[in-house]
Amino acid sequence: MAHFATLDESNIVTQVDVVANDVILDDDGNEQEQLGIDFLTALYGVGNYKQTSYNDKMRKNYGGVGFTYDASRDAFIPPKPFASWTLNESTCRWDAPITRPTDEGVDGKYYWWNEDAYQADNSTGWIGVENEFFGQDFPDLR
């Protein structure tokens, strides 16, 4: 199945539609994005439609609702999760200013980003949460 993101006037994804693969195949059996756009235009009317892919084969990332389509990069970019994070130009994903601990799970902890901790001391940010808390209510660590 092919997936197509509908973009608003600010290039924000507002919905994602699934289109049958045979709809986007030309007479030679080649996938053509325009055929999917034509199908959606006939179904919904004129809109701004871009094909997206769950396996990141096109446009860097899957264009989920709330993502932005950047025409200059031909990429879908997820919403920025925290003010301190920066866009990785090669992946078009957001990177924390500090690398996530690589021993996650090994020490019985899982790590969550805490923007307040980072803003108070930019040598911190990843907060370890004991494994025993998973499945229970605990305070929002963002």
- Supply the pLDDT for residue 72: 97
pLDDT in tens, 74-132: 999 999 999 999 999 999 999 999 999 887 767 678 889 999 999 999 999 999 887 65
Would you place residue 140 in the very low, low, confident or very high pLDDT band (cuts 50, 70, 90)?
low
Structural domain boundaries of the chain?
2-80, 96-142
**pLDDT above 60 for 24:** yes
pTM tops 0.85, yes or no: no
**pLDDT above 90 for 61:** yes
The span from the CA of 64 to the CA of 53, in Å, is: 10
- Supply the pLDDT for residue 136: 53
Between these two residues, 10 and 138, which has the higher pLDDT value? 10
